[in-house]
Amino acid sequence: VPDNCIQDFCVANLNSSISVNGFPCKPDAEVTSHDFFFDGFSKEGNTTNVFGSRVTPGNVLTFPGLNTLGISMNRVDFAPGGLNPPHSHPRASETGVVIQGKLLVGFITTGNVYHSKVLTAGQMFVVPKGLVHFQLNVGEGKAHAFTAFNSHLPGAAVLPLNLFASAPAIPNGVLTKAFQVEDDVINAIKSKFGS
Ligand code: GLV
Ligand code: MN
């Protein structure tokens, strides 16, 4: 067994034709210091969208050096009033720290208990694995936070987009029954997301 059988790192080869549940490693000879540093968080994300927020991911797809290490981060920017909409991460717990502004941070347990707090710079939160959560900018100005995950690719199921902007669309009959409303309400919501 070669002594590099368990490796210090496995910088992702994002272009491999090998299909596994993850990315294979770049050959050692091709690994450079560049693979272990990521510049993507130095700029504010563009919050000009319906939600008024932007998640900039620092995960294995943007920062291949994270591959197999079980960690990643996001930068999340908020316009005044901006919302990072209710979503869940199927593969990770999340922790985060507010850097600027004032955020209402909330999550809902599988027992439908809602936990929330308004956080300002320097304050931290945790969202247990898989639970639905959001952050809303309740301050006067912009806000931003950094979040961290115990997965190199936590995934995100964004509820409004999952339910109302999937392709192909979920049949209205499912959504009218689930939310106990008429077709026009479902159509109005779907139309907001361009479907
Ligand atoms: C915030 O909830 C994030 O997923 O970065
Ligand atoms: Mn999240």
d(CA 73, CA 129): 15
Give the pLDDT of residue 56: 98
**Of the residues 147, 159, 161, which should be mutated to test ligand 1's pocket, given the most ligand atoms within 8 Å of the CB?**
147
Of all protein residues, whose CA lies closest to atom 2 belonging to ligand 1?
A: 134
Distance 69 CA to ligand 1 centre (A): 19
Give the pLDDT of residue 22: 86
Of all protein residues, whose CA lies closest to atom 1 belonging to ligand 1?
A: 147
Give the pLDDT of residue 192: 94
Distance 42 CA to ligand 1 centre (A): 17
**Distance in Å from the first CA to the final CA of the chain:** 54
Give the pLDDT of residue 6: 76
Give the pLDDT of residue 16: 92
**What percentage of the chain carries pLDDT values higher than 90?**
91
Q: Which ligand is nearest to the CA of 54?
A: 1
The tens digit of pLDDT for each residue in 132-160 reads 999 999 999 999 999 999 999 999 999 99
Assess whether the C-beta atom of 77 lies below 6 angstroms from ligand 1. Answer: no
Determine the Cα angle at 161 with ends 157 and 163, to 5°: 90
The tens digit of pLDDT for each residue in 106-128 reads 999 999 999 999 999 999 999 99
Atom of ligand 1 at shortest range from CA of 147: 5
Of all protein residues, whose CA lies closest to atom 3 belonging to ligand 1?
A: 147
Predicted model pTM: 0.93
Give the pLDDT of residue 7: 84
Assess whether the C-beta atom of 147 lies below 6 angstroms from ligand 1. Answer: yes
Tell me which DSSP letter residue 82 carries: -
Give the pLDDT of residue 3: 59
Q: Which ligand is nearest to the CA of 134?
A: 1
d(CA 17, CA 12): 12
Q: Can you give the C-alpha Rg of the chain in angstroms?
A: 19
Please, which pLDDT band fits residue 195 given cuts at 50, 70 and 90?
low
Give the pLDDT of residue 4: 61
Distance 148 CA to ligand 1 centre (A): 8
Please, which pLDDT band fits residue 44 given cuts at 50, 70 and 90?
very high
d(CA 147, CA 127): 10
**Contact at 8 Å (CB) between 133 and 127?**
yes
Please, which pLDDT band fits residue 100 given cuts at 50, 70 and 90?
very high
Assess whether the C-beta atom of 59 lies below 6 angstroms from ligand 1. Answer: no
